Structure 1
Amino acid sequence: MTTQTHGSVRRDPATPPAYLGIELGSTRIKACLAGADHQPVAVGSHDWSSRLVDGRWTYVLDELWDGMRAAVADLRGALAAQGAPGLESVRALGVSAMMHGYLAFDEHDELLVPFRTWRNTSTGVAAAELSELLGRNIPLRWSVAHLYQAVLDGEPHVAQVRSVTTLAGYVHRQLTGRGVLGVGDASGMFPIDSRTHDYDHDALARTDELLAAHGFGRKLRDLLPAVQVAGAPAGTLHAAGAALMDPSGSLPAGIPLCPPEGDAGTGMTATCAVAPRTGNVSVGTSIFAMLVLDREPETAHPEVDIVTTPAGDPVAMVHCNNGAAELENWVAVFREFGVAAGCSADADTAFGVLLRAALDGAPDAGGILAYHYLSGEPVVGLDDGRPLLTRADAGSLTFANLARSLVYGVFGALSLGMQVLLRDGVVIDTVVAHGGLFRTEGVAQRLLAAALGVPVGVRAGASEGGAWGIALLAAYLDAAVDRSLTEFLDCEVFATSELEVVTPDPADVRGYSQFLERYSAGLTVERTAVDALDRAVAVSERQVQA
């Protein structure tokens, strides 16, 4: 049988091609294999979590590699169980991860300080100064805000910084040796000029002057990864990278990689929301909405980032640090109660019970307010957060009302941020939602439609999210066709895919509006809880020391 060469990998033409996507999410590392029809064949996963160390949210990078190997091994097992071809059929692959944050390296490519994730809110001074200087919103979590804050704080490591990248960029560099980044992920490090699909030249010059005024002598262009759009070749898997991912040897060296992307860009890809006036909402540990624009807005808002699609088109992003993580904690408590009562349930079953109960709750959740702020929430002006549950009427405390409030609480900050865009005249036809919360059919989708006041669609495979999205970007690289990413997705991936759309129910909309009015007013209680509990902890620590 003859073989053909793709890159430096020899392929059997009788074996259908497959595309591997790896995503490093907030709570799970996933490996998704898409087949020749671009649909998911199998998924492997491994749980991991961030840690609060010395006041900063971080992940241990050694756990990253252990988790990636575990996810790939889980995927291999799932393929074997199906009798499907293994990873030897992979034609191209890609890496996606949480956007933003700060990974700084020295001249020997050694990490200088522990990874500072998007969840950290310690960059307020830097973000405010940069936003004023550049005339656009530079959020707390952007990489340039982290770098400038480190400069302002006189951190010793700053003098040794020779490169800064994101989590996806770091992994890609370890796999290929190339310091590149997809434009969507790069747009969460530093502003992008949507005309050139590269870092904004004027903004670079202004920021370099600001950094130099504080004694930082290096140019940002020399520190940041090179920017590439979707479809551009971004290197090949080298032998050491293949061993890092899969010690079994199933993945040969030489496989081409697409540009590494952030979870926002892969979410847009997985929901076919990369064309103007399309949008998507991703629900996970964080929650964010991405609305593709036909032009960059003239007015900057602190609640709205301007980032890009993987093809480089401008996107309005409302990003909230706190999504469904606290809801998961509540489900864990209910499961513990079930075990104590002799009726245990797995997580999916427990989620299904809670979500379906939410539909039986009062449209306004009976006056119950749930704040899911495990960390600070810049969209509502909180530097720190405390999960909080309160209610106005003792008679309203039913399981159904509590369930609805817990789901509404996932969407609260996002709704407030989205109202800013709607007041600016941004038109939203439909948003497509994805994330594990939508595995229970119709519930979170219906309540999200009420929260946003627009139709919400969900596609099959919505829970696979960014791991499938980056696999699709790898397939787009392999296709090597002269057409846009939008055309590729419309014609090759989603041509026969049905979008299940739910329109807002008027009663739900009225009820959610009442909930959100109380929710907004109740933020004063949330701020008081943060201050009061901080004081209580400080007093307790002094007593212990005494």
Structure 2
Amino acid sequence: MSLDVKNAIMNGKTVLGIEFGSTRIKAVLISSDHTPIAIGSHDWENSYVNQIWTYSLEDIWKGLQDSYAKMASDVKAKYGVTLQSVGAIGFSGMMHGYMAFDEAGELLTPFRTWRNNITEQASAVLSEKFNFHIPQRWSIAHLYQSILNKEEHVAGIHFMTTLAGYIHWKLTGQKVLGVGEASGVFPIDIHTKSYSETMVSEFNTLVASENLPWKLENILPTVLVAGEGAGTLTEEGAKLLDVSGDLQAGIPLCPPEGDAGTGMVATNSVEQRTGNVSAGTSVFAMVVLEKELSKAYEEIDLVTTPSGSLVAMAHSNNCSSDLNEWVGLFGQFAQAMGMDVSADNLYGTLYNLALQGDADCGGLLAYGYLSGEHMTHFEEGRPLFVRSSDSNFNLANFMRVHLFTALGALKIGMDILLKQEGVKLDEILGHGGLFKTAGVGQKIMAGALNTPVSVMETAGEGGAWGIALLAAYMIGKSDHETLEKYLNERVFAGKAGASISPDPKDAAGFEAFMERYIKGLAIERAAVNNFN
């Protein structure tokens, strides 16, 4: 195997994927069988500068170059060869946000990331104008808010893009985005797989009185779908990526994609009636739809897969953070009692105990709102644990209610899709820290969504692997081979994950808990208003 990999590296038969996450930039080199053979990563953090969450251009390039250099060093250490070329490259990044450039290609205002909630007015106006929910983090909301704020830089805009689009542009000269990434910039028409012409026209009419020297369609990146070529690495781009100078120019690049799209690819959740749910600090579910929803919902974001299928996204800001703090508290107790308990043992014991609790958590109630929660309309949060005098208060129910409430806000969004809209979902793929203890988070998620939940070993490979797969698809697909078929037959064949079907008792228990959860939101509101 090692010799085959070495030959693939020397002959440029590998594929490279690099993803800019919120705390880590990761580079993954994969072989022709799509398995990772070398990895490099760089840790970074956003900065809060002048009330804006941002990353500097210096940090962006330093991080990219460091992650690439570590991956190339991994190749050298493992296989004894210098990486000079690959078959294809793909870049991915945090979706949304705002990067605006002038005619000379200079950044007009510091990069505004998805984390900024500073576009409330723009979001509301555009959502009403388009009859389509425009979240605050979307690029078009940032642009329109800048116009509403009368910011000087707006008149000088010649191009706006996302982080992934920016990296791709600087390395290839191409101002493009993959359709999944573009769907977080501006609404996509799923029939044309490009920006909605109607909404573009409505936006131009909306800002006509500003007499801006540009039209929206002229400053947005061109939209491409998975499998299309998106330019090649230029001489200048090769030097930007690999400061050692070993990497050769001319390598083809796939369309840059967002982290939502690469997550779908990495979990093989791009077919209609499939979905994936990522559960960690926050929790979000992505469901690939068979048809458009009947109306716009504030709780549901609409994006697309990298091949342009419509995806409904339900996102909750809070998931496991408060739960983790309670587990940590029990860890402190164990330590105070002179017991040496590993984190895995602590989580495993407490999580499995939750499976022994009453189906509805014995009447207990909790909210893990360390921050605000848009799904239930809270701009800030207060973690709470509540019980009545006749609740069945024991450790099993205590752990169960904290696992349930980690999914409470998400369930509100998913109920809109599954109950109100009648969306069909055959299976959902789970990944993230909530699923680390085998079977527990998976079983509770299945009960919450009343849908089979699978966890695959490959789900932990992450978005850098996902964008590498998209680059591999671009150069390796046969004529008319869809992304869905490529993933099913060439990447994930024989890798079916362990699936858990919903237990009717869990599903019924979760419904009873949700009645309590929704009624109890008044308690959370009182805590936010009166407890600082």
TM-score range, shorter chain: 0.7 to 0.9
1:432 to 429, 453, 459: 429
Bigger Cα displacement from structure 2, 104-113 vs 326-335 = 326-335
- 1:38-57 equivalences under 5 Å are 38-57=34-53
- The residue aligned with 2:4 is none
What is the percent sequence identity of the aligned residues? Answer: 49
User: Where do residues 117-266 of structure 1 align in structure 2 (5 Å cutoff)?
Assistant: 117-249=113-245, 251-266=247-262
Q: What are structure 1's unaligned runs of at least 5 residues?
A: 1-10, 537-546
Residue of structure 2 aligned with 1:467, choices 456, 464, 470: 464
- Trace 1:431-450 onto structure 2 (pairs within 5 A): 431-450=428-447
Q: Contact between 1:194 and 1:314, CA under 8 Å: does it hold in 2?
A: yes
In structure 2, the partner of 1:543 is none
Tell me the matched-pair count.
Answer: 523
The residue identity in structure 1 corresponding to 2:32 is: A
Q: What does residue range 236-315 of structure 1 map to in structure 2 within 5 Å?
A: 236-249=232-245, 251-315=247-311
Distance change (3 Å), C-alpha of 1:284 and 1:32: farther
Comparing 222-231 with 474-483, greater Cα deviation is found at 474-483
Q: Output aligned runs, 1:20-35, within 5 Å.
A: 20-35=16-31
CA contact (8 A) 2:47 2:55 kept: yes
**Matches of residues 94-133 of structure 1 in structure 2 within 5 Å?**
94-133=90-129
Instruction: Decide which moves more: 398-407 or 212-221.
Output: 398-407
CA contact (8 A) 2:382 2:528 kept: no
Q: Is the 8 A contact 2:284 2:313 kept in 1?
A: yes
Aligned 8 A contact 2:8 2:14 in 1: no
Q: Secondary structure at the match of 1:90?
A: coil
Matched position secondary structure for 1:66: helix
Instruction: Note the C-alpha offset of 1:107.
Output: 2.6
1:318-353 superposed Cα distances (whole Å, 9 cap, x missing partner): 233444455566667777777787777887676556
Runs of 5+ in structure 2 lacking a partner? 1-6
The alpha-carbon deviation at position 80 of structure 1 amounts to 5.3
Give CA-to-partner distance per residue, 1:479-525, whole Å, 9 cap, x none: 14211111111221112222221111223223322332333233333
Counterparts in 2 of 1:271 and 1:200: CA distance versus 1, 3 Å: same
Task: Map residues 399-410 of structure 1 onto 2, 5 A cutoff.
Answer: 400-410=396-406
Deviates more, 1:410-419 or 1:439-448: 439-448
Q: State the Cα distance separating 1:316 from its structure 2 match.
A: 1.7
Instruction: Return the alpha-carbon distance in structure 1 between the equivalents of residues 77 and 337 of structure 2.
Output: 35
Contact 1:267 1:434 (C-alpha < 8 Å) held by counterparts: no
Equivalent residue, structure 2, for 1:418: 414
Secondary structure, in 3 states, of the residue corresponding to 2:291? Answer: coil
> In structure 2, what is the equivalent of residue 7 of structure 1?
none
CA distance 1:332–1:76, shift in 2 (3 Å):
farther
Distance change in 2, residues 1:13/1:215 (3 Å): closer
Q: CA RMSD in A?
A: 3.1
Is contact 1:27–1:285 with CA below 8 Å preserved after alignment?
A: no
- Which of 512, 515, 521 pairs up with 2:513? 515
Cα pair 2:102 2:108 within 8 Å, conserved: yes
Give the alignment's TM-score, normalised by structure 1: 0.86
For residue 357 of structure 1, report the CA deviation from its aligned partner. Answer: 4.8
Q: Partners of 2:357 and 2:81 in 1: how far apart?
A: 47
Cα–Cα, structure 1 residues 283 and 49, in superposed 2: closer, same or farther, change >3 Å? farther
Q: Structure 1 pair 293/255, CA: closer, same or farther in 2 (3 Å)?
A: same
CA offsets, 1:21-68, max 9 Å, x none? 111223332222222111233443333333444444333443333333
Q: What TM-score, normalized by structure 2, do the two folds share?
A: 0.88
Distance 1:186 1:341, change over 3 A: farther
**Distance in 2, Cα, partners of 1:43 & 1:407:** 33
Please state how far the C-alpha of 1:527 moved relative to its aligned partner. 3.4
Distance 1:32 1:408 in 2: 35
Superposed CA offset, 1:349-380 (max 9, x none): 76556544544555444555444445443322
- Whether 2:390 is the aligned partner of 1:392: answer no
Distance 2:375 2:154 in 1: 29
- CA separation in 2, counterparts of 1:233 and 1:50? 31
Write the distance in 2 (CA, Å) between the matches of 1:169 and 1:337. Answer: 49
Cα distance in 2 for partners of 1:339, 1:49 equals 32
Using the TM superposition, give the Cα deviation of residue 195 of structure 1 relative to its aligned residue in structure 2, in angstroms. Answer: 1.3
What SS class does the counterpart of residue 463 from structure 1 fall into? helix
* Paired AA for residue 527 in structure 1: R
Residues 367 and 391 in structure 1, CA contact (< 8 A), matched pair in contact too: no
1:462 is paired with a residue of what secondary structure?
Answer: helix
Aligned-residue offset at 1:298:
3.1
State whether residues 22 and 31 of structure 1, in contact with CA within 8 Å, keep that contact through their aligned partners in structure 2. yes
1:49-88 equivalences under 5 Å are 49-76=45-72, 78-79=74-75, 82-83=78-79, 87-88=83-84
Deviation at 1:182, TM superposition (A): 0.2
| Distance of 2:331 and 2:247 partners within structure 1 | 39
Q: Secondary structure at the match of 1:233?
A: coil
Distance change in 2, residues 1:101/1:387 (3 Å): farther
Does 1:17 pair with 2:24? no
**Distance change >3 Å, CA 520–CA 161, structure 1 → 2:** farther
Residue 285 of structure 1, CA deviation: 4.4
